[in-house]
Structures are given as C-alpha cells and as structure tokens.
Amino acid sequence: MKTAICPGSFDPVTHGHLDIIERAASVFDKLIVAVMFNARKQYLFSPTERVALLTRSTAHLPNVSVMYSEKLLAELCRELGVVVTVRGLRAVTDFEHEFQMALINRNLNPEMETVFLTAKERHQYLSSSVVKEVGALGGDISAFVPAPVLAEIKNKLLT
C-alpha cells in the first residue's frame, strides 16, 4: 500500500487543486489531503470549513481522506508514516518555492520525497487568491471551483 500526502492551504479548494488530487488518487493507493496552517497567510475560510469543503469536493474519490494539521509537514509525515508528498506545479510561478520546500522537507525528514504533478492546461492559471479576488467583485467563478465551494464562497464574500 503506497500512501501519499497532499498538503496545502486550500482556501478554498479550486478545480486546480481537485485536478491534482484526482491525479494523485489514481497513482497512489491512498491519498491524505492535509489542510495545513501557514502563519504568513490570512485565511478566508476556517480550518473546519476548508476541511468540510474538501471532504465534499472529494466525496467521489474513495481512497482520499482529508485532515487538518498545524504541525510541520516533515513532522506530520513522520507521525503518519507517509514518505511521499504530492504538490501541484503551475507553469513557471511555483517552481522556485516548491523546489525550496522539497529540499527543506527532505533535510528535515530524509525519508521524504516530493512528487510534482501538473494540472490540465485550463487549470494552470487558477489559484485560490484569483478565485477570491474575482468572487469578491461579483465575477462568475463557477468554472473555477467545485460546486460545494460555490455557494459557500458567495455567502462569505458578498455578505
């Protein structure tokens, strides 16, 4: 049984995230999607809300589970006995940061390997930040986020 972990903020989960999650779920026996805490970020959705939206958006994937953690990823992986981390890579923007994180994580936990997957072309430009910006201005974001997110984000941004 090969288990992988897919960590991120998911504030909120987009079709870009879901694309990566679906690809990882088809490659690994089990996938843990971990909503992580990042002190540098200000979140629109609470951890409980982000976990609930991810759980509903991945309900069609039986080998995917969702959790929240405030631990260091390297530490969480050690505790869970998981050695593979899956991250999504968009065109150019993600490389520098992802490369740095992969090497730092392996330094902190030498067993850890980071696997990079790429989403479909049409999801390459998507990010949670862009979705929130467009949504806050009343733009149509139905093509960018899974259905469970759509209603919730409208409530958050437009009330």
Q: Is 128 in the site for ligand ADP (CB under 6 A)?
A: yes
Q: Is 90 in the site for ligand ADP (CB under 6 A)?
A: yes
And the tokens for 159? 């009330």
Task: Give min distance, CB of 2 to ligand ADP, in A.
Answer: 19
Active site residue 41: yes
Q: Is 119 in the site for ligand ADP (CB under 6 A)?
A: yes
Burial class (CB in 10 A: 0-12, 13-18, 19+), 109: middle
Q: Which of 57, 69, 123, 128 is catalytic?
A: 128
Binding residue for ligand ADP (CB under 6 A) from 26, 29, 38, 107?
38
Which positions are annotated as active-site residues?
A: 17, 41, 90, 128
